[in-house]
Chains A and B, each alone.
Chain A
Amino acid sequence: MADYETIPINTLFEIPALNPGAMKNSSPFVAAPLHQEALGFPGELVDDWQARAIEKLGELLKKSRALQVYMDSCVKCGACTDKCHYFLGTGDPKNMPVARQDLLRKIYRRYFTFAGKYFPKLVGAEDLTKEVLDDWYSYFHQCSQCRRCSVYCPYGIDTAEISMAAREIMDHIGKGQKYCNEILGKVHQIGNNLGLPEKALIHTLADLEEDIEEETGVKVRIPVNKKGADILLVTPSADFFAEPHVDGLIGYAKVFHQAGVSWTLSSYASEAANFAMFIGSYEQMKLVAERIRKAAEELGVKRIIFGECGHAWRVAYSFLNTLAGPFDFLDSDYPVPQHICEFTWDLIQKGELNLDKSKNDHMTLTFHDSCNVARGSRMGDSPGGQFKIPRAIIKACCNNFVDMAADTIGETTFCCGGGGGLLTDDLMEIRTKGASPRMQALKDVVDEHGVTHMAAICAICKSQFAKVMPSYGFDMDSVVSVHQLISNAIILDGQVQ
């Protein structure tokens, strides 16, 4: 299937030999005028794109003090150079975080600094040419905005913010990415990334209820648009559609059922994801976030819980109140919003879930920390909760758990390779290559500790791994949802054994 070669995973942690231009031709499909205009962007590359790009950059620099600091403060120390999974997987020097930043920084210097205006060659400043724009389009879509490099940067320069700014500029001159922009249009039009209409959602959920009853003998409900429910669950639409996501959704439903709480999904806000973060559009991010508030108000819920979705949790945990708050109509006795893992862990601690660990004895698990959860949010009430809580849940329902190497998990976790708006078929080569550091870390625990499955709490991670794992010799179903493990182990009241 693939007509490219990945770097063999037994050599990964050696820094690859430089391979300049190796990924120059990796570019995603450009958004069609229809998808651009639906979001208020020009349909195609405008005639005066250069002037408008520079103008937009100026606007962003004024709006974001952080971006200005990131443009100014790099000292070329080199700490980030070998930290990006896309560099490690491709050897392309433009995938070194500093080089990626410099694609924007050299334009910043040329048009916004004294030295760059008068002595461009001395300070690495360059004119904004078509070649530079092509490089932007290519290499800013080879950044999954995972922020691993920023952990190692002594100045805390966040390449994700730079790549978001670059994509925002490109959208404003009419060169947006098809995958993200088409999806955002579907969220506004239909309610979710998939384009799953209400009728199909209801049918799919009824089908799942049937499956659960067949398996357990218990009528577990997955309600939609239930007015007056206490909890609104907002989850990625992949949870309704893909494997192993749907097994996670079944897990949430069983937990809610056993907890005896009243809950509902919303067909209007049937999507947790907020792809507007990937394209750096504050306006779009606000519109997408406001759907969740509107659904919560209309249904009259008291709490909002998010399902297993990485960047949705970053947006929810870090930005939701700013984007769509204040949420003073919700019950302040609970976190606003709450993560499904926090909810489940709370019940486990109270001893309210009957979990038979032996149901997961056919697996030895490891856990992949998703980048946006790890570096963009937190869980629970103590630092590091976003690392501890998912692991505590796994250990509460599985006998066999082994962590991967310390520098590949937690705060320094490697991206799955498909985040940040890259989870599209036209970027399969960079996705596959970018997964290699994670695959190496996984292989190590497979070989040493007999790990058979890797759990995750992000829809993108799950889909990405299911797709690329076969290229590294793993089965596509060796990635599982955390709540799938709960679903396997939980014994519901009245369950047929």
Chain B
Amino acid sequence: MAYECNGTTVEADEEGYLTDISLWNPELAALIAVGENIEMGDDHWEVVNFLRDYYEEYQIAPAVRVLTKVIKKTLGADKGNSKYLYELFPYGPAKQACKIAGLPKPTGCI
């Protein structure tokens, strides 16, 4: 599949993950989110931006536990849990948020 964003075509795999992660931009993220029935708010962006920063450093998305800890620090204790992350990204913070952040899908027994 592919996304049409600002007049350019961005290739993605069968599930909608970008094939070239360098082509990501915030407008594209918002477009991918629409396909996931997610309206991006500040908290969504907080997660997506953290995922991208983490990926840049470690070449993979963070473990759910690492993510919840960071969210706890930035958004407060009431939001620092996986339940809240699932409210933001109902299909799972790892997979759905990675898709919106333009990162590869985490694979394995997860």
A residues with CB within 8 A of B? 1, 29, 178-179, 182-183, 186, 192-197, 199-200, 203-204, 207-208, 211, 236-238, 240-243, 245-246, 273, 309, 423, 425-426, 459-460, 462-463, 467, 476-477
Contacts and interface: CB of A to CB of B under 8 A. Distances in A.
A246 B94 CA distance: 14
Contacts of A211: 65, 69
Given A1-B90, A425-B95, A426-B14, A193 B108 contact: yes
A197 B104 CA distance: 14
B74 interface: no
Interface of B: 14-15, 57-60, 62-66, 69, 82, 86, 90-92, 94-95, 104, 106-110
Contacts of B94: 241-242
Nearest to B107: A183
A237 B106 CA distance: 11
B14 A241 contact: no
B57, B69, B86, B108 — most chain A CB neighbours (10 Å): B108
A197 B64 contact: no
A459 B106 CA distance: 15
Contacts of B92: 467
A207 B69 contact: yes
A238 B109 contact: yes
B65, B90, B92 — most chain A CB neighbours (10 Å): B65
Nearest to A243: B64
Grouping DSSP codes into helix (H, G, I), strand (E, B) and loop, the A interface class, with mixed when no group exceeds half, is helix
15 contacts: A194-B107, A195-B106, A200-B60, A200-B62, A204-B63, A207-B65, A207-B66, A236-B108, A241-B94, A241-B108, A241-B110, A246-B63, A309-B109, A426-B14, A462-B109
B77 to A, nearest CB: 14
Contacts of B82: 243, 477
B66 A192 contact: no
Nearest to B66: A207
Nearest to B64: A243
A246 B65 contact: yes
Contacts of B69: 207, 211
Contacts of A200: 58-60, 62
B44 to A, nearest CB: 18
A203 B58 contact: yes
B58 A183 contact: no
Given A197-B60, A199-B58, A200-B58, A423 B109 contact: yes
The 6 closest A-B pairs by CB, nearest first: A193-B108, A200-B58, A459-B109, A238-B109, A242-B110, A194-B108
A267 to B, nearest CB: 13
B57, B69, B94, B107 — most chain A CB neighbours (10 Å): B107
Nearest to B65: A246
Given A243-B82, A426-B14, A1 B91 contact: yes
A242 B64 contact: yes
Given A1-B91, A426-B14, A238 B108 contact: yes
Given A199-B58, A204-B63, A425-B95, A194 B15 contact: no
B108 to A, nearest CB: 3
Nearest to A193: B108
Nearest to A240: B63
Given A207-B69, A208-B65, A236 B109 contact: yes
A483 to B, nearest CB: 15
B109 A193 contact: yes
Contacts of A29: 14-15
Given A200-B59, A426-B14, A183 B65 contact: no
Given A29-B14, A203-B58, A241 B64 contact: yes
Contacts of A426: 14-15
A273 B110 CA distance: 12
Contacts of B14: 29, 178, 426
Contacts of B91: 1
Contacts of A179: 107
Contacts of A460: 109
A366 to B, nearest CB: 21
Given A183-B108, A242-B64, 18 more contacts: A1-B91, A179-B107, A193-B107, A194-B110, A195-B104, A195-B107, A197-B59, A197-B60, A199-B58, A203-B66, A204-B62, A207-B63, A238-B109, A241-B63, A273-B108, A460-B109, A462-B109, A477-B82
Nearest to B82: A243
Nearest to B37: A1
A426 B15 CA distance: 8
Contacts of B104: 195
Contact of A204 (B66, B86, B108, B110): B66
B70 to A, nearest CB: 10
B46 to A, nearest CB: 19
B88 to A, nearest CB: 15
Nearest to A195: B60
Contacts of B57: 199
A1 B92 CA distance: 12
Nearest to A464: B109
A1 B38 CA distance: 13
Given A183-B108, A237-B108, A463-B110, A242 B63 contact: yes
B6 to A, nearest CB: 27
A449 B35 CA distance: 42
A391 to B, nearest CB: 23
